[in-house]
Amino acid sequence: MNAIIILIPVTLALIGFATALFFWAVRHDQFQDLDTPAILPLMDDVPASEENSPQTTEKHA
Amino acid sequence: MSTDNTLWARPALAAQVLAPRRDGRSDVLLRVPALADARRTVMLQSTLEALPGVTRVRVEVTARRLHITFDAARIGLPDLLDACHASACPAQPLRRELLDDPLHHQANDALKRLAVAGLFTMQAMMFALVLYLGVIDRVDASTRQLFRWLEMLAATPVIGYAAIPFFRHALRDLRARRAGIDVPIAIAVLLIYLASAWNTLAGHGAIWFDSATMLIFVLLTGRYLELRARRRHHDLDAASTDNLPLLATRRDAAGTWETVAALELEPGDRLRVSEGSVVPADGILACAQARLDTSHHDGESRVRHVDQGQPVESGSLVLDAPIELTVTRAGSATSATRRRQLAEEAARQRARTDGAADAGVGRFIAGVLGLAAATAAFWLWHDPARAFDTVIAVLVVACPCAFALATPATLTRAMSVLARRGVMLTRPQALAALADVDHALVDKTGTLTRPQLDAAATLTHNNIEPRQALAWAAALAHGSSHPVAQAVLRANAATPATASDIQVSAGGGISGRLDGRALRLGRAGFACPGHADDDALWLADAHGPLARFALVESLRPGARSAMQALQQAGIHVAIASGDSAPRVAAIAAQLDIADHHARQSPDAKFERVRAAQAAGHRVLVVGDGSNDAAALAAADVSASLAGATDLARHHADLLLGDDLSQLTLARALARRAVRTMRHNRRWGLTWNAIAIPLAACGLVPPWLAALGMSASSLIVVLNALRLEAPDAPPAAGPHHDQPARWQERTA
C-alpha cells in the first residue's frame, strides 16, 4: 500500500512534466516542419559553416 | 523578376512586407521557386542562418516560402534577397498580411488539446481499470475512494481543457438556434462528468470518467487529422495574388521610368514589363504586340498572342520581349485578385451550409432530454431514492457516442482509404455530396486533355536518334511538374539520366548540363535564340538545335472511362472551357458529351454552377486552372488534378493524381461511405430505442449502461473500418485511351 502512496504522486508529476514539455515543443514550432529533419543526417557536408560556424549553434534559441 | 534588390530598402516598400516583432526584430515571408531538392533546401536554410542578424529561418516546403526572423538593424532586406539570389534561389518578399496564418495557430492549439486528452485519458483508464478489476480489496473502502478521486483528477483536464472546443461549438450552435453534432456531445460529456463528480463526492454510486474522456480523445483525434489535411492543402495556396509582383516599372510625368510599388499603380499609368516577368495589373497593350504565357491562371499551355489595344490580364507571364501597357485596373481590382475573391466568397457561402443543422440531431436531443425529464418525474413520484441513478442511466445509455462517432469515424476511414489510392480528400463533408451529385461541369484544357509529344513528328538534326534526343530532354525535364515536361517524361522509355545545374526560366524552358554539355529545352526562342516560336518543344546545345518535338493535345488517361462512368450513373455531364468552340466540340465529340460550352470566363463558369444549383441539382466541378477556382469553390463537390494551378487546388475538395479514373473510384467509395454512415446511425438509433426504455424503467444499472455505451461505440468504429475501396477497374480499361505510339516504334 505504501508503494501506491509514493508511486501515484510520481506518476502525476511525470504526466505534468510530459505535458509541459509537449506544450513547450508546440509553442516553439517543433512540429512545423516534419519533412526536412528526416534528410538532415543524409547530408555529407553541412555548408556555410566555414566562416560563421560559432554563430550557427546559437541560432535556434 | 527584377534583380535590383536595393529597392526593398525604401521604407514605403519595406513597410508592406516587414512585420515588426515585440522583441524589436522583424519577420518577413519570401516566396521562392519550387524547393524540390531537399539538399538544396537545407543548404539554403543554413546559408541564411549563418548571416549575421538572422535569428531564425523556417522553410515551408509545400508553401514554397521562407519565413525569416531577423534584426533589421544588423542586416537589411536587400542583403537577405541577395543572399538568396547567390544561392541560386531568387526570392520575392510577400505581403506582410500573409504572415498571420490562422491555421497555424489552430493546428498548434488542436495538437496541445489532443496531447492533453491522450495523456490524461490513459491515466483515467488506468485508475478505472484498477477499480473494474477489483485489484483493491472490496472492504478497503478508503483506497477505493482514493482511486475514484484520482480518476476524477485525471479526467478534469480532459473535460476542462481538451473538450473546450466542443463546448464552444455547442454554445455557438445553441445561440444560432441550430443543433450541430457538438451539442449532444457537449451535453453528454458535461452530464457524465458532473454526475460522476457528484457520485465521487458522495462516496457511492457509479462513475464514468473513463467513458467521457475516451469519447473526447477519439473525437479530437479525428478532428486533428482533418485539420492537418486541410492545412497541408492550404499551404498549396501560393495563389495568384501573392504571385503578383509587388513592384512595377512606371513612366513618370517627366517621361523617365521609375520603379514603384504595384499597390501605388492607378488606372491610366503607363507600365513596362520586362520579359520573364509577371504583369502586375490589368491593362491595355500599348506596344505593337505581345506574347504571353497564361498557363498560371487558365491552364492553357499554348502561347497567347495579344495585339495593340487588346486587354492584358494581370498574372500573365511576358515572353520574348518587354511590353508596355496602359493600366485599366490595379491593386485589389485586378482580375487576378478578382478570381481569388470570387473563389473565396463562394467557399465562404458553402462553409455556411456545411455547418447547417442536421435535422436528426435536433430531434434526437429533444427526445432524450424529454425522456430523461419524464423518467425523473416518474421516479420522484414513485421512489425518490432511485430517481437520480435512473436518470443518470438514461442519460448514459442515450449518450450519443455511437451517434456522434458514426459520421467522423467513417469519414476518417474514407480519407485514409482514398489517400492510399492517391486521392486526397480535403473537405470530408464533400464525400456525402459526391455520392449523390447529378450534374457535372468539367473543364477541358488541362483537365480532360493534356499536352502529349507527337512521337511520329519528332525531327532531329545531325542524324541523332530520336530516342537519344528524347532521353536527353527527359534528363532536363526530370523533376519539373510543368505539363509539357511531364509529357516528355511519359514519352521517354529509357531510364532518365539526371542533368546538373538545372535552371528553370519561367515561360521559357529548362537549361542544364549533361555529360559536360550545356543543353536547353523549351520554346524555340529560349532553346535556340533566333528561331521563331512555333508551339513545339526544342532541344538545343551551344552549337544549335538538336531536336524538335511536336506537341498535340490528347485525352488524359481515364478521361473517357471516367466520363462514361459518370454518364452511366445518370449524371448530366457538361464541358465548360475557355478555349475556342471547334476545339471544345472536337473533344466533346470524342467523349460523347452533348452539352459543351466554349469561351467561358471564370464568372460564366461560376454562374453556370449557381444556375444548376438553383434548379435543384447537386453539382460536381472538375477543373485545374485558376479560372475554374470560383466554380470549384461554389460546387457541392469539386475535384482537381495533380498538375492544377495552386488556386484551383486550394478550392478543390478532392485532389486526384494524374488519372481521371480516380474520380470514378472516389465516387464508388463515397457511395459506400454514405451507406456505412447510414448503417452506423441506424445502429445508434436502434440501440437507443431498445436501451433507453429499459433504463427509464430502472432495469439497467449505471455500470451496465456504461458498458453498453462503450460497446455500441466500438461497433460503430469497427463498422467504419470495414470500408474499403472497390477493386481497380480491369487493366484493359482507362490506361489504353492513348496507345503509346513512341514505344511501339522503338520496341
Residue B738 is predicted with a pLDDT of: 39
Task: Find the CB nearest B111 among A26, A36, A55.
Answer: A26
pLDDT tens column, B587-616? 899 899 989 998 888 888 889 999 999 999
- Interchain pair A55, B52: CB under 8 A: yes
Residue B728 is predicted with a pLDDT of: 54
Percent of chain B residues past pLDDT 90, beyond the cut: 11
Helix extents (H) in B304-443:
335-354, 359-382, 384-397, 401-420, 430-435
B121 pLDDT tier (thresholds 50, 70, 90) = very high
Residue B400 is predicted with a pLDDT of: 63
Closest listed residue to residue B292, CA positions, set B268, B267, B309, B317: B317
Q: What is the mean pLDDT of residues B162-186?
A: 82
Q: Closest-CA residue in chain B for A49? A: B50
Any idea which of B29-33, B72-76, B482-486, B740-744 has the lowest mean pLDDT? B740-744
Q: What is the mean pLDDT of residues B158-169?
A: 92
- Interchain pair B38, A35: CB under 8 A: yes
Q: Closest-CA residue in chain A for B46? A: A48
d(CA B39, CA B437) in angstroms, rounded, equals 45
Task: Find the CB nearest A47 among B43, B51, B153.
Answer: B43
Q: Give B493 or B310, the one with higher predicted confidence.
A: B310
Per-residue cell: B560? 473517357
Q: Give B131 or B597, the one with higher predicted confidence.
A: B597
d(CA B417, CA B224) in angstroms, rounded, equals 17
Highest mean pLDDT among A44-48, B135-139, B198-202, B274-278: B198-202
β-pair partners for B306? B290
pLDDT tens column, B721-734? 888 877 654 443 33
Residue B418 is predicted with a pLDDT of: 83
Q: What is the mean pLDDT of residues B625-637?
A: 83
Closest listed residue to residue B301, CA positions, set B644, B737, B734, B661: B644
- Interchain pair A40, B42: CB under 8 A: yes
- pLDDT above 90 for B440: yes
- pLDDT above 80 for B332: no
Q: Per CB distance under 8 Å, which residues of B are interface residues toward A?
A: 38-39, 41-43, 45-47, 49-52, 54-56, 58-61, 104, 108, 111-112, 115-116, 119-120, 123, 143, 150, 153
Q: Across all residues in chain B, what is the average pLDDT? A: 78
Compute the count of residue pairs across chains A and B with CB atoms less than 8 Å apart. Answer: 72
Residue B35 is predicted with a pLDDT of: 62
Any idea which of B327-341, B459-473, B654-668 has the lowest mean pLDDT? B327-341
Supply φ then ψ for residue B252, to 5 degrees.
-90, 180
pLDDT tens column, B303-317? 778 888 888 888 787
DSSP per-residue string spanning B472-512: HHHHHHTT---HHHHHHHHH--SPPP--EEEEEETTTEEEE
Which of chain B's residues have a Cβ under 8 Å away from the Cβ of A61? 55
A53 pLDDT tier (thresholds 50, 70, 90) = very low
Residue A48 is predicted with a pLDDT of: 42
User: pTM of the entire structure?
Assistant: 0.62
Q: What is the mean pLDDT of residues B414-422?
A: 79
- pLDDT above 50 for A56: no
B301 pLDDT tier (thresholds 50, 70, 90) = low
β-pair partners for B637? B620
- Residues 6+ positions from B683 with CB-CB distance below 8 Å: B402, B406, B712, B715, B716, B719
Closest listed residue to residue B350, CA positions, set B613, B107, B546, B694: B613
- Residues 6+ positions from B465 with CB-CB distance below 8 Å: none
R_g of chain B computed on alpha carbons? 31
**Residue B580 is which amino acid?**
S
Helix extents (H) in B506-580:
524-527, 559-568
The H or E element that residue B229 is part of is: helix B209-235
User: Residue B111 in contact with residue B89, Cβ under 8 Å?
Assistant: no
pLDDT tens column, B342-355? 666 666 665 554 44
Q: What is the mean pLDDT of residues B476-498?
A: 75
Residue A24 is predicted with a pLDDT of: 92
pLDDT tens column, B680-732? 878 877 877 888 888 888 777 666 776 777 677 778 878 888 888 776 544 43
Task: Find the CB nearest B56 among A11, A19, A59.
Answer: A59
Residue B615 is predicted with a pLDDT of: 92
β-pair partners for B26? B20, B70
- pLDDT above 50 for B653: yes
Highest mean pLDDT among B84-88, B182-186, B268-272: B268-272
User: Residue B188 in contact with residue B399, Cβ under 8 Å?
Assistant: yes
Residue B744 is predicted with a pLDDT of: 33
- pLDDT above 70 for A46: no
- pLDDT above 50 for B439: yes
Any idea which of A30-44, B166-180, B516-530, B611-625 has the lowest mean pLDDT? A30-44
